[in-house]
Amino acid sequence: MYCVRNVTEDLYWVGANDHRLTLFENIHPIPRGVSYNAYLLLDEHSVLFDTVDWSACRQLLENMDYLLAGKPLDYLVINHMEPDHGASIEEILLRHPKVKVISTEKSFLLMRQFGFQLDGHELIEVKEGDTWSFGRHTVTFVAAPMVHWPEAMVTFDTTDGVLFSADAFGSFGALDGKLFADEVNFDRDWIDDARRYFTNIVGKYGPHVQLLLKKAAGILDQIRYICPLHGPVWRQDLGYFIDKYDHWSRYEPEEKGVMIAYASMYGNTEAAAQALATQLCAQGVTNVWMYDVSNTHVSYLISESFRLSHIVLASVTYNLGIYPVMHNFLMDMKALNLQNRTVALIENGSWAVKSGDLMQKFLEDEMKNMTVLNDRLSMASALHPDKASELQALASAIVKSMQN
């Protein structure tokens, strides 16, 4: 059965929702599913903007068959060829052999690299600023390299003000009928998954996202719709989401608050983390969030580290090193380019307390613009009352640094 929705009078969402996939990119949990968005424009010429993951191909085909009603597809615009969007390209080419494919040079190269059979089809290479008319609608192609792959572009329909934004402005979460961001309580129900999507998928490429945002700023008054490849379509309050993207891609926190990430083997480091959280709240800082790194998937930790201004890392020493799961979190923060955060450290060890020095060295040597507070809580096996003043001093140092 077809499952489509109008975005505008002649533009349709023809994508699909996926609740079966448990791990996006086989690494990030998606308990709320994900959508693969594709859009079909019925102008004098019909145009499909992007395809879908192979698992959703059948739904895309049913949607297109319904709307095309026996006519062939004229154009296929590929903004992003990564297989979660491009895997169905070949099937579209097989069913519509005369379709003209529009994409970037690098995109065609990568399609061939993945083994997509393009030979015999008309391929139109476009670059920054090129335009194309499909009838009533004229579009401009805008390069968006590294948002999130090097071949990516976005397409702006200047006729109706529709920005096909590829991975930018996307989110985890299946749509389940609610196509538009204004049909859900986005700030309550979606923002955490949108942040987790951005920070883990595109987070590393903040400067490239900033370049795209600067290009978008030049036509902001003309953008009426943002149609991403995942998650809801935006047609109201675009500034809300653009502002979030601006913060995330500049690596600036959204909120003053404290994330306490702890690695605890027998509960003693966790108890110290709890004591610190309690001290912070007693001193008036209540925007405090605790995460056990051993049972919180690192994609959630990354998302929270992008949201909040302060991070406390509390780790046991393990094989004379940082506890492996905490080390993995640090490696991921580095890989995703997180910067501009204030960090406090709690270390634990029963005979050789090493984790504090090692975490500090990692933060200072491997990451950018991370401020490590001088106050550090060091404990041997467990936190005892004789450390109460050190605990209080650490909490005070965090509170003081938040007042800057």
Return residues touching ligand FEO (CB under 6 A).
80, 82, 84-85, 148-149, 167, 229-230
Q: How far is the CB of 293 from ligand FEO (least distance, A)?
A: 27
How is 69-118 classified by DSSP, letter by letter? TTPPP-EEE-S--SHHHHTTHHHHHHH-TTPEEEE-HHHHHHHHHTT---
Q: How far is the CB of 174 from ligand FEO (least distance, A)?
A: 14
Q: Which is nearer to ligand FEO, 229 or 233 (CB)?
A: 229
Residue with smallest beta-carbon separation from ligand FEO:
82
Q: Which is nearer to ligand FEO, 74 or 84 (CB)?
A: 84
Q: How far is the CB of 198 from ligand FEO (least distance, A)?
A: 11
Q: Which is nearer to ligand FEO, 36 or 75 (CB)?
A: 36
Other CB atoms within a 10 A radius of the CB of residue 128 amount to 13
CA distances from 200 to 27, 33, 37, 165, 312 (A): 10, 16, 19, 18, 20
Q: Which is nearer to ligand FEO, 82 or 160 (CB)?
A: 82
Q: What is the DSSP letter of 127?
A: -
Whether residue 48 contacts residue 76, with contact meaning beta carbons closer than 8 Å, is answered with yes
Q: Which is nearer to ligand FEO, 80 or 341 (CB)?
A: 80
CA distances from 402 to 250, 344, 360 (A): 19, 12, 20
C-alpha to C-alpha distance for 383 and 264, rounded to whole angstroms: 12
C-alpha to C-alpha distance for 324 and 36, rounded to whole angstroms: 34
Q: Which is nearer to ligand FEO, 197 or 251 (CB)?
A: 197
Q: How far is the CB of 197 from ligand FEO (least distance, A)?
A: 9
Whether residue 267 contacts residue 205, with contact meaning beta carbons closer than 8 Å, is answered with no
Q: How far is the CB of 159 from ligand FEO (least distance, A)?
A: 26
C-alpha to C-alpha distance for 389 and 59, rounded to whole angstroms: 62
Q: How far is the CB of 32 from ligand FEO (least distance, A)?
A: 16
C-alpha to C-alpha distance for 82 and 107, rounded to whole angstroms: 9
Cα separation of the two ends of the chain: 57
29 Cβ neighbours under 8 A, 6+ residues apart:
22, 23, 297, 299
Whether residue 73 contacts residue 99, with contact meaning beta carbons closer than 8 Å, is answered with yes
Q: Which is nearer to ligand FEO, 202 or 338 (CB)?
A: 202
Q: Which is nearer to ligand FEO, 59 or 264 (CB)?
A: 59
Q: How far is the CB of 76 from ligand FEO (least distance, A)?
A: 17
Torsion angle defined by CA atoms of residues 387, 390, 392 and 396, in that order, rounded to the nearest 10 degrees = -170
Q: How far is the CB of 157 from ligand FEO (least distance, A)?
A: 20
Q: Which two tokens stand for residue 395?
A: 């909490």
Q: How far is the CB of 167 from ligand FEO (least distance, A)?
A: 4
* Residue 348 zone, left/alpha/beta (φ > 0; ψ -120 to 50; rest): beta
Q: How far is the CB of 27 from ligand FEO (least distance, A)?
A: 13
C-alpha to C-alpha distance for 62 and 329, rounded to whole angstroms: 42
Q: Which is nearer to ligand FEO, 64 or 229 (CB)?
A: 229
Q: Which is nearer to ligand FEO, 73 or 144 (CB)?
A: 144
Helix (H, G, I), strand (E, B) or coil at 192: helix
Residue 2 amino acid letter: Y
